[in-house]
């Protein structure tokens, strides 16, 4: 008996894959097969039957950035994701789900009434001329889902799609912006029928705010609707509205993240409610779209902090989330600042009153003008390192009238790219994408690196070609986090 138990425990230990324990917004996230997770414009559904979280999103590859269908991944803990392939596959020649169609922002909810799962999404043609909502069903949450139809919600247009299920009464709502035309520019909350087979009635219209990417969360302090402005794939300041009831009256919108961070370079899309044994946590599920290589756009997931009157997103490089208790804890790292780094070539230290030590590393360019952080303690295992940087390219949008927020006629440079080399090993150059921030705004972006055990590691940062130039962004500091699972 005892031996059997020991074997059972051993088998469990051996079968348990190396677990990532942390949530690392903006990192490259891989599934259990070692593939980059591709599930953009996501919806995440906790399924009572399987006891798992199911992440649905737009499946994008380098060769197929739209019309790739809906991917699905599942997880017990929101850290370790197993791919379930395509939940909705594109069908050649189909009017609404062919590889030429737009299949965006899928969401899935369970209907108690019909005991099956309903997927809804923004269904469109490649020029966004249809503005419909697609609907597909499956008897199991993972799918495959069968296409039902694509319709105009209550006779209106529908662009960015969101879905909200109220924990209090189980009712689901479709959330959608109704396009960019003068007659649109609204966002709707419409109640769905209990079968989740159609929309029943418009509950509220946010008139003419011209916002998109809507999501809703419900706390003890009411309903909060999060939406972004409309700036294409460039991020902007996401706003929230508050109300006691879904039908309103809704408050004035307010900005939810520090100004000029453009919501930490992300767009809203979904809020996941995690009801733990100790507390309920709401996670902001955002996209860090990267229009240069949209298939590898990153995910920005952050805990939402609310009190009665306010809602805000606070950045954490790395946090430890326990879905069983609903609690999350920021992980502490070790900081190495610009002041102690070595510069090479034309890279230099410049006064910057907003920087950690009043000094920022600038002039980083190509492989000659680099900076090196020394004496870094490593664990010998992969660990996350956050690079705090400033990129002042000012993300213009030169080819569109009115689209140059900070610079007249500026060309759009979404990101700089830095090279990151550990211990001088130039045969293993890592690429670090450093999105535009703003002047004086320092944000961080993570890489998972393996350092030697001990305190003698170096990290050298140079500049790589971003399509325009070899400039690396200015560096303020790096923060080295303990390995996962520790
Ligand atoms: C809802 O589903 C039930 C069970 O399948 C069915 O009997 C009923 O006709 C459906 N109602 C609507 C409005 O589709
Ligand atoms: C998309 O639909 C609109 C409205 O029917 C139409 O005008 C447009 O030509 C369509 N685009 C494509 C690529 O078929
Ligand atoms: C359809 O959209 C228009 C423009 O937003 C609005 O005036 C109208 O009330 C909407 N109708 C319904 C049923 O939602
Ligand atoms: C340095 O960069 C140049 C391009 O600027 C490239 O041709 C060269 O191969 C690079 N050298 C190393 C060692 O990476």
DSSP assignment of 394-443: ----TTSTT--SSSTT-----EEEEEEEETT-TTSPEEEEEE---TT--E
- Would you say how long the chain is, in residues? 486
Q: What is the mean pLDDT of residues 128-132?
A: 97
CA of 369 to the centre of ligand 4 (A): 12
Ligand 1 center–CA 217 separation, angstroms = 28
- Please determine whether the domains at 2-330 and 334-480 fall in the same fold group of CATH: no
The closest residue, in CA terms, to atom 9 on ligand 4 is 367
Name the CATH superfamily housing domain 2-330.
Answer: Glycosyl hydrolase domain; family 43 (2.115.10.20)
Judged against a pLDDT cut of 60, whether residue 8 lies above it is answered with no
Task: State the pLDDT at residue 344.
Answer: 98
Measure 373 CA to ligand 4 centroid, in angstroms: 21
The preferred substitution site among 111, 112, 114 for testing ligand 1, maximizing ligand atoms within 8 Å of CB, is 114
Query: CB–CB of 297/289 below 8 Å?
Result: yes
- Structural domain spans, the chain: 2-330, 334-480
Ligand 2 and 125: CB distance under 6 A = yes
Q: Does ligand 2 have an atom closer than 6 angstroms to the CB of 427?
A: no
CA of 72 to the centre of ligand 2 (A): 29
Is there a cis peptide before residue 249, judged by omega within 30 degrees of 0? yes
Q: What is the pLDDT of residues 440-475, one digit of tens each?
A: 999 999 999 999 999 999 999 999 999 888 999 999
pTM listed for this prediction: 0.93
Measured by CA distance, the residue closest to atom 4 of ligand 4 is 366
CB atoms within 10 A of CB 462: 25
Q: Give the pLDDT of residue 12.
A: 46
The CATH class of the 334-480 domain is: mainly beta
| Contact assessment for residue 218 and residue 166, using Cβ atoms and an 8 Å cutoff | yes
Report the percentage of the chain scoring pLDDT > 90: 85
Quote the percentage of the chain above a pLDDT of 70: 92
Q: Say how far apart CA 72 and CA 10 lie, in whole Å.
A: 31
- Predicted local distance difference test score (pLDDT) of residue 485: 75
The pLDDT of residue 237 is above 90:
yes
**How far apart are the CA of 186 and the centre of ligand 3, in A?**
9
Tens of pLDDT, residues 337-396: 999 999 999 999 999 999 999 999 999 999 999 999 999 999 999 999 999 999 988 665
Substitution candidate for ligand 2 out of 95, 123, 129 with most atoms within 8 A of CB: 129
DSSP-assigned states of every residue in 190-241? EEEPTTSSSEEEEEEEETT---EEEEEEEETTEEEEEEE---TTS----EEE
Residue whose Cα lies nearest atom 5 of ligand 4: it is 366
For atom 11 of ligand 1, which residue has the closest CA? 195
| Ligand 4 centroid to residue 139 C-alpha, Å | 55
pLDDT in tens, 136-181: 999 999 999 999 999 999 999 999 999 999 999 999 999 999 988 9
């Amino acid at each position: 008996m005892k031996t059997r138990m020991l074997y059972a425990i051993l088998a469990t230990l051996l079968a348990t894959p190396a677990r990532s324990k942390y949530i690392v917004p903006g990192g490259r996230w891989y599934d259990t097969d070692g593939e980059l997770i591709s599930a953009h414009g996501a919806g995440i559904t906790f399924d009572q039957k399987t006891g798992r979280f199911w992440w649905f999103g737009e499946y994008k590859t380098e060769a197929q950035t739209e019309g790739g269908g809906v991917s699905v991944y599942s997880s017990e803990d929101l850290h370790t994701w197993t791919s379930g392939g395509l939940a909705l596959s594109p069908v050649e020649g189909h009017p609404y789900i062919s590889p030429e169609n737009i299949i965006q922002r899928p969401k899935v909810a369970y209907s108690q009434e019909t005991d099956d799962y309903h997927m809804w999404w923004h269904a469109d043609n490649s020029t966004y001329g249809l503005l419909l909502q697609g609907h597909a069903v499956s008897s199991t949450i993972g799918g495959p889902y069968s296409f039902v139809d694509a319709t105009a919600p209550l006779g209106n247009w529908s662009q960015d799609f969101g879905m909200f299920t109220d924990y209090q009464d189980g009712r689901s709502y479709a959330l959608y912006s109704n396009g960019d035309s003068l007659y649109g520019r609204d966002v709707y909350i419409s109640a769905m029928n209990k079968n989740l087979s159609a929309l029943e009635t418009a509950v509220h219209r946010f008139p003419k705010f011209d916002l998109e990417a809507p999501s809703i969360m419900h706390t003890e302090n009411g309903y909060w609707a999060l939406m972004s402005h409309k700036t294409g794939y460039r991020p902007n300041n996401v706003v929230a509205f508050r109300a006691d009831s879904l039908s309103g009256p809704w408050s004035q919108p307010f900005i939810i993240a520090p100004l000029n961070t453009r919501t930490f370079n992300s767009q809203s899309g979904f809020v996941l409610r995690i009801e733990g044994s100790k507390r309920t946590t709401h996670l902001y599920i955002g996209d860090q779209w990267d229009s240069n290589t949209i298939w590898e756009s990153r995910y920005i997931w952050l805990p939402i902090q609310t009190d009665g009157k306010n809602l805000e997103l606070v950045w954490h490089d790395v946090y430890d989330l326990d879905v069983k208790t609903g609690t999350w804890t920021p992980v502490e790292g070790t900081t190495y600042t610009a002041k102690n780094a070595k510069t090479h070539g034309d890279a230099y230290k410049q006064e910057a009153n907003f920087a950690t030590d009043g000094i920022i590393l600038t002039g980083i360019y190509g492989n000659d003008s680099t900076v090196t952080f020394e004496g870094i303690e490593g664990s010998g295992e992969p660990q996350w390192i956050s690079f705090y940087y400033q990129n002042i390219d000012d993300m213009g949008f030169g080819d569109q009238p009115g689209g140059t927020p900070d610079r007249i006629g500026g060309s759009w440079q979404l990101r700089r790219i830095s090279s990151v080399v550990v211990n001088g090993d130039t045969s293993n150059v890592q690429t670090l994408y450093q999105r535009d921030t703003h002047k004086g705004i320092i944000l961080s972006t993570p890489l998972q690196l393996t350092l030697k055990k001990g305190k003698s590691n170096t990290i050298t940062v140079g500049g790589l070609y971003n399509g325009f130039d070899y400039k690396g962004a200015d560096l303020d500091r790096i923060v080295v986090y303990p390995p996962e699972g520790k």
